């Protein structure tokens, strides 16, 4: 692979997830940024995979099918339950089992959003705002177009003048008004991905600003111990390179992955706000693991 070619295996779209750009815009921008190997990893949705493959072909890129599944995880009885993300790669997008389960998750997201709206309206009324109506909810669903989640509600609140940013929406309202997601275990997520012929990868294990083992401990060695004792049988790889991973994190997770014969992946986790796709220096070995020689 030439020094100017890039790899990014963690990008979210507006079409099927909570990104800010449409697939067509993502691939146009990725082409400008000389991204040669790419994966769209939308949250709990694979509905955009065929179109992503088509666009990758159009721009002469190598495409790896992708998805990001949210799970609930409690390593030990005395530890808190946390949210983690599992990336799935190189799976059959026509596999009926994974398609059905993800559609079930999407339907539940709609029910969850309505429950969040009910709680949100109670808080809005307290603060002197008019409550959001079912027509508002339908508009939020229409704009989400893919996997409906709290960021879509936050964006609508900004437009309505209730808050000035996603950060304010979450801190003032959406954290306290949250409703649990449909529970998906590590075992089930792994089974869905592997059952469709794919590879299950632990996403951003030490992301201090997101869903990661950092919620339990910021000690990387302790995180690795948890993975080794409680997660290893369900994983095929670790996302070592990530926009929120420090050099120390990369080094330690690379070493762990080599010791356990796990694949290593990397990406920006770009939601296009700001546009950071291609900004993470992902080495050529990542593409080679997926049978891609450039």
Which domains, and CATH codes, for the chain?
Answer: 6-101+187-289 (3.20.20.140), 111-174 (1.10.150)
CA 106 – CA 100 distance, rounded (Å): 10
What phi-psi label fits residue 161: left (phi over 0), alpha (psi between -120 and 50 degrees) or beta?
Answer: left
Strands 35-40 and 66-73, bridge-based pairing: unpaired
From the CB of residue 31, how many other CB atoms can be counted at a distance below 10 Å? 17
CA 13 – CA 39 distance, rounded (Å): 11
Cβ atoms of 288 and 16 within 8 Å: the answer is no
Q: Using CB atoms within 10 A of its CB, is residue 130 exposed (0-12), middle (13-18) or buried (19+)?
A: exposed
CA 290 – CA 280 distance, rounded (Å): 19
pLDDT score, position 145: 56
DSSP tag of 238: E
Q: Output the CA–CA distances (angstroms, integers) from residue 268 to 113, 119, 194, 243, 282, in the order listed.
A: 27, 33, 24, 5, 9
pLDDT score, position 272: 87
Q: What is the pLDDT along the chain (294 residues), one digit of tens a residue?
A: 445 689 999 999 999 888 889 999 999 999 999 999 999 999 999 999 999 999 999 999 999 999 999 999 999 999 889 989 999 999 999 999 999 999 998 888 888 888 999 999 999 999 999 999 989 988 888 776 555 778 889 999 999 999 999 999 999 999 999 998 777 999 999 999 999 999 999 999 999 887 899 999 999 999 999 999 999 999 999 999 999 999 999 999 999 999 999 999 999 999 988 999 999 999 999 999 999 987
DSSP per-residue string spanning 54-111: HHHHHTT-EE--EEEEEEEE-SSTTSPPEEEEEEEES--TT-HHHHHHHHHHHHHHHH
pLDDT score, position 4: 60
Using alpha carbons, select from 28, 52, 37 the residue that is nearest to residue 7: 37
Using alpha carbons, select from 84, 53, 293, 80 the residue that is nearest to residue 183: 84
DSSP per-residue string spanning 136-205: HHHHHHHHH-SS--HHHHHHHHHHTTS-SSHHHHIIIIITTT--PPPP--HHHHHHHHHHTT-EEEE--T
């Amino acid at each position: 692979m030439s020094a100017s070619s890039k790899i990014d295996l963690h990008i979210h779209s507006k079409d099927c997830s909570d990104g800010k750009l449409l697939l067509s815009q993502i691939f146009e921008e990725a082409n400008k940024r000389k991204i040669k190997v790419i994966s769209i990893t939308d949250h709990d949705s694979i509905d955009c995979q065929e179109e992503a493959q088509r666009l990758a072909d159009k721009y002469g890129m190598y495409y790896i099918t992708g998805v990001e599944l949210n799970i609930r995880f409690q390593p030990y009885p005395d530890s808190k339950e946390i949210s983690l993300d599992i990336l799935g790669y190189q799976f059959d997008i026509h596999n009926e089992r994974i398609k059905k389960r993800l559609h079930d998750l999407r339907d539940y997201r709609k029910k969850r959003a309505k429950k969040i709206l009910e709680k949100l309206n109670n808080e809005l009324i307290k603060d002197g705002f008019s409550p959001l109506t079912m027509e508002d909810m339908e508009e939020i669903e229409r704009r989400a177009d893919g996997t409906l989640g709290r960021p879509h509600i936050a964006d609508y609140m900004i437009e309505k003048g209730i808050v000035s940013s996603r950060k304010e929406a979450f801190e003032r309202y959406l954290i306290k008004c949250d409703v649990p997601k449909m529970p998906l275990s590590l075992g089930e997520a792994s089974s869905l991905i592997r059952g469709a012929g794919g590879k299950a990868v632990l996403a951003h294990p030490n992301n201090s600003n997101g869903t990661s083992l950092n919620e339990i401990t910021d000690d990387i060695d302790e995180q690795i111990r948890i993975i080794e004792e409680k997660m290893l049988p369900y994983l095929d790889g670790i996302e070592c390179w990530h926009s929120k991973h420090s050099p120390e994190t990369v080094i330690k997770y690379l070493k762990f992955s080599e010791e356990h014969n796990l694949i290593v992946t990397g990406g920006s986790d770009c939601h296009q706000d700001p546009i950071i796709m291609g900004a993470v220096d992902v080495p050529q070995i990542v593409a080679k693991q997926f049978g891609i020689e450039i």
